[in-house]
Amino acid sequence: MRRLIVIAMAAATLVLAIVCGMAQPARAQALEPPRGRQGYYLALGPHFALNQHWENGRDWRPWAGYDVSLRVGQMVTRRFGLGLQLHYGGSSGQGQRATLYGLTVEGQWELARHLAVRGGVGLDAVSIATVGATDDSVRGAAGAGYLLGVSYDWFFTRRQTGGWAVTPVAQVRLVPGKTDGLVGTVGVEISYWTGLPRNQLDLPPSEAFKPR
């Protein structure tokens, strides 16, 4: 399991590095109008989670829990971004306790100003144990996980490009396997966008040479 995680992290990092490297020449050719969702981003936040699990033909009722995500990446084009998402969470119900964690390669597409849809695939794991059991009751699955969600960045700092934002998020994560998991989350992240340097922005001459 540890080896799979290391391989997935290395592969995801390599993909991100290649795509971000390819994006630099394109940015040098065309100037971008200044806006908030530009450059690199880093986001962290808690989510309320509702988990549904299926195990050996049994359909467990939904369990309430939590999920914490850390996201990092870059806008590759004006509307398309690529990054990584790490998450860890848990839930409980019906005498059972579940733990979920994983690493996802995440893409996002800005549908409207500051409103983006997210999708991703990566390595996820689900572990379920009976609460208070004296025997080895831990079971679960590890493998591919799939993500689909939507987010909105509300910028509360005044900058021509980049800045700090509060980001409401709603997403669904599917983890198929011996123990199937379907996790819906709603949360709020704090996001920071680096923005673009002035030589990549479409600014009037009076603004182009002012300090940021």
Burial class (CB in 10 A: 0-12, 13-18, 19+), 132: exposed
Give 22-53 pLDDT, tens digit per residue. Answer: 444 444 457 888 889 999 999 999 999 998 88
Residue 79 located in a structural domain? yes
Residue 11 located in a structural domain? yes
Residue 43 located in a structural domain? yes
Mean pLDDT calculated for residue range 198-204? 76
Has residue 160 got a pLDDT over 50? Answer: yes
Rounded to two decimals, what is the model's pTM?
Answer: 0.78
What's the structural domain count of the chain? 1
Give 126-140 pLDDT, tens digit per residue. Answer: 888 887 766 666 777
CATH of the domain at 89: 2.40.160.20
Across-strand partners of 73?
41, 83
* pLDDT band at 185; cut points 50, 70, 90: very high
d(CA 66, CA 92): 10
Residue 137 located in a structural domain? yes
More confidently predicted of 171 and 182: 171
Q: State residue 26's pLDDT score.
A: 42
Q: State residue 146's pLDDT score.
A: 93
Average pLDDT, the chain: 82
Residue 205 located in a structural domain? no
Q: State residue 134's pLDDT score.
A: 63
More confidently predicted of 101 and 205: 101
More confidently predicted of 212 and 37: 37
**The most confident of 30-39, 109-118, 124-133, 192-201, by mean pLDDT:** 109-118
Q: What is the identity of the amino acid at 111?
A: L
The alpha carbons of the chain give a radius of gyration, in whole angstroms, of 20
Residue 170 located in a structural domain? yes
Q: State residue 169's pLDDT score.
A: 97
Residue 118 located in a structural domain? yes
Query: 60 is in which domain, residue-wise?
Result: 2-29+38-197
Residue 156 located in a structural domain? yes
More confidently predicted of 45 and 6: 45
Whether 173 contacts 146, CB under 8 Å? yes
